[in-house]
Amino acid sequence: MYQDTFKEGFLWGGAVAANQCEGAYLEDGKGLNVTDVSAGLLRMPHMRWNGTKWEADLDGYFPSHEAIDFYHRYAEDISLMGEMGFKAFRTSISWARIFPNGDETEPNEAGLQFYDRLFDEMHKNGIEPVVTLSHYETPLYLLTEYGGWLNEKMIDFWYRYVKTVFERYKGKVRYFLTFNEINNLFKIPFAGGGVLDIHPIHTETVNADLTRKDLYQAAHYIAIANAKTVKLCREIIPDAKIGCMISLSQLATYPTTCAPQDVLAAQRFQHQAMFFLELFCNGAYPSFVQREWHEIGYEPVFHAEDLALIQNNTVDFISFSYYKSCVIKDGEVMKTDTGGAYGANNPFITEYSPKPWRWPVDPAGLRYVCNFLNDHYHKPLFIVENGIGLNEHPDSNGRILDTFREKYIREHLHQLKEAIRDGCDVMGYLYWGPIDIVSAGTGEMDKRYGFIYVDKDNNGAGTMQRSRKNSFDFYKHVIETNGKDL
Ligand code: BGP
């Protein structure tokens, strides 16, 4: 049936990740996770070889260790989101709060209690929790002791964790996402994939020779874990919905020219973004990986029952991040950041986020991605990350006039509405970073996404006081009018 605009019950809101906002990185029994040794995922993890094994090197300043202290200030922050009228708020459960090392048999009660308090607070404010089970937060110990997802044992550790979560929060959470941007396994394996991958220049040994073969095997274990999670979620919380979460800026890959080889290059690049979609949504390995597997000499190690498990337990919906599009030329090696990939400049795109990030602004790319997904997978879509990072300072009246952000959102929502008119079933839109948090890629506070300003700078100075930017009222109005008045 034709849908002209955002449906009733559309899930408006915002999204963050535990490791970028909570802080309290060792409080109440929490163990270290992979992002705790990172001052930005695009930088080298701070690890050292002690002669026998890898260990955390915690010398220096790590912005995420305190972050915006959401762990203690969540009530104030959730109430501000409530004031904006949020219907949903996405955050992750930090796995190492629940199982500090990851391989324990009993969970950490204090960690579980924190999320009880947090979800209760959301409900008090009329906000539905949307929970990412793993957002770049694999317990570090699982990497240093077991190699992370290179090891099949991870499936059992993961299973124990998600079972604990489902049983504990079954009355409180109805929306789950499995692994955040899991396709980043191939781009930033350490944090994105939970795989022990230390670059050779960091020290000379161990896994310097990690190959795509290894990553494909890790992907297989993750696919099994994903399928088991979907199955378990349905058993324990039958009325919940569970989705995959993929970074899909890469689906908006345009060829540099209409030369057939450039068009084919763009298609190959899109295939990389489709790999996990095929596994999680169609429940099967896509035929397009066969050629690469043949060329790299990978022969998957599968158990007989694996493929049926993947086939029978596909996700309910597709959630994804979209920040920007990119342009590819045949033969070009694409570079990656947390927003997706980047290659040549697109002469038809004239607007960029400010320096030093310079992310191209391409709202139509969002419509393109939605249609692409709708054509291939026929599942409801959930935009769980879209936003713009700006370097902002309050003016002399203490206000932040972030009209660039308002324009960015307005234009993306216009295009989302077009996608709905094109026939896409869109469940919701969660703006990335409704409150300023630590940037995933570069560890900065100065890359601000929020409607809510947090007084803290890159060096950790500031009062942590929260204040409303101009876009706060703008977004509130968008939600109030269910996106009619953009
Ligand atoms: C995505 C991540 C988020 C996030 C966002 C913006 O890749 O899932 O965690 O932070 O990118 O990236 P950044 O913070 O580097 O600007």
% of the chain exceeding 90 in pLDDT:
88
Q: Which residue has the higher pLDDT, 386 or 336?
A: 386
Locate 367 and state its tokens: 């419509």
pLDDT in tens, 3-38: 999 999 999 999 999 999 999 999 999 999 999 999
8 Å CB contact between 190 and 196:
yes
Q: Lowest mean pLDDT of 52-66, 247-261, 418-432, name the range.
A: 52-66
- Using pLDDT thresholds of 50, 70 and 90, give the confidence band for residue 198: low
- Residue of minimum CA distance from atom 9 in ligand 1: 440
Residues 6+ apart with CB under 8 A from 180: 17, 92, 132, 134, 135, 136, 245
CA–CA separation, 1 and 129 (whole Å): 29
> What does pLDDT average to over the chain?
95
pLDDT band at 363 (very low <50, low <70, confident <90, very high): very high
Structure confidence at residue 257 as a pLDDT band (50, 70, 90): very high
Q: Is 177 helix (H, G, I), strand (E, B) or coil?
A: strand
What's the CA gap between 328 and 346, in Å, rounded? 10
Distance of CA 45 to the CA centre of its chain: 19
Q: Is 431 in the pocket of ligand 1 (CB under 6 A)?
A: no
pLDDT at 204 over 80: no
Confidence of residue 283 (pLDDT cuts 50, 70, 90): very high
Contact (CB, 8 A) for 255 and 265:
yes
Between 188 and 348, the higher pLDDT residue: 348
Q: Which of 89-103, 296-310, 333-347 has the lowest mean pLDDT?
A: 333-347
Catalytic residue among 22, 181, 406, 444: 181
438 CB within 6 A, ligand 1: no
Print burial letters for 395-420: b (CB count within 10 Å at least 16), e (below 16): eeeeebebebbbbbbebbbebbbbbb
Sign of CA dihedral 148, 150, 153, 159: positive
Which candidate, 17, 36, 18, places its Cα nearest to that of 26?
A: 36
| Nearest residue to 264 (alpha-carbon basis) of 329, 314, 202 | 329
* Residue bearing the CA closest to ligand 1, atom 7: 338
Residue to probe by mutation, ligand 1, list 90, 385, 458, most atoms within 8 Å of CB? 385
Task: Assign 203 a pLDDT band (cuts: 50, 70, 90).
Answer: very low
User: 183 CB less than 6 Å from ligand 1?
Assistant: no
C-alpha dihedral (336, 277, 7, 14), degrees to nearest 10: -40
335: pLDDT confidence band, cut at 50, 70 and 90? confident
Q: Ligand 1 within 6 A of 379 CB?
A: no
pLDDT surpasses 70 at 206: no
Q: From residue 30, give the alpha-carbon distance in Å to each of 175, 316, 403, 437, 486.
A: 24, 31, 39, 20, 42
Q: For residue 449, give the ligand 1 atom closest to its CA.
A: 16
- Distance of alpha carbon 169 from alpha carbon 174, whole angstroms: 9
Select from 92, 178, 185, 338 the residue to mutate for testing ligand 1; criterion: most ligand atoms less than 8 Å from CB. 338
What ligand 1 atom has the least distance to the C-alpha of 17? 9
User: Are the C-beta atoms of 163 and 106 separated by less than 8 Å?
Assistant: no
Residue found by looking up tokens 């305190």 in the block: 66
Q: Say whether pLDDT at 260 is over 80.
A: yes
What average pLDDT does range 406-435 have in this prediction? 98
Q: What is the largest CA-CA distance in the chain?
A: 67
- Cα-to-chain-centroid distance, residue 223: 17
Mean pLDDT of the 287-309 span: 93
Q: What is the pLDDT of residue 209?
A: 59
Q: What confidence score (pLDDT) does residue 201 get?
A: 36
Band (41; pLDDT cuts 50, 70, 90): confident
Tell me the C-alpha distance between 105 and 163, whole Å.
12
439 close to ligand 1 (CB < 6 Angstrom): yes
pLDDT of 254 higher than 70: yes
Q: Calculate helix-pair angle for 109-124, 154-169, nearest 10 degrees.
A: 50
- Whole-number Å distance between alpha carbons of 14 and 434: 5
Q: Closest ligand 1 atom to the C-alpha of 389? A: 16
Q: What does the pLDDT average to over 341-356? A: 91
Q: 11-480 adopts what CATH topology?
A: TIM Barrel (3.20.20)
Distance, in Å, from the CA atom of 142 to the CA atom of 146, rounded to the nearest integer, reads: 5
Lowest-confidence pick of 117-131, 303-317, 325-339, 414-428: 325-339
- Say how far apart CA 460 and CA 477 lie, in whole Å: 33
Catalytic residue among 385, 392, 406, 444: 385
Reply yes or no on whether 385 is catalytic. Answer: yes
pLDDT at residue number 197: 77
Q: Which atom of ligand 1 lies at the shortest distance from residue 447's CA?
A: 16
Cβ partners under 8 Å of residue 240, min gap 6: 170, 173, 174, 175, 176, 233, 234
Q: What is the pLDDT of residue 200?
A: 39
Q: How far apart are CA 453 and CA 95, in angstroms?
A: 27
How many beta carbons lie within 10 A of that of residue 264, not counting itself?
12
Q: What is the mean pLDDT of residues 424-429?
A: 98
Q: Is the pLDDT of residue 430 over 80?
A: yes
Residue 181 annotated in active site: yes
Give the confidence band of 211 by pLDDT, cuts at 50, 70, 90: confident
Give residue 372's pLDDT.
98
- Using left for φ > 0, alpha for ψ between -120 and 50, and beta otherwise, residue 162 falls in alpha
How high is the pLDDT of residue 50?
84
Distance CA 286, CA 277 (A): 9
Tell me the C-alpha distance between 375 and 364, whole Å: 17
The ligand 1 atom at the shortest distance from the C-alpha of residue 247 is 7
Tens digit of pLDDT for each residue in 234-248? 999 999 999 999 999
pLDDT for position 42? 84
Domain boundaries, the chain: 11-480
Specify the amino acid at residue 402: D
- Does a cis peptide bond (omega within 30 degrees of 0) precede residue 354? no
**What percentage of the chain exceeds 70 in pLDDT?**
98
Q: Is the pLDDT of residue 374 over 70?
A: yes
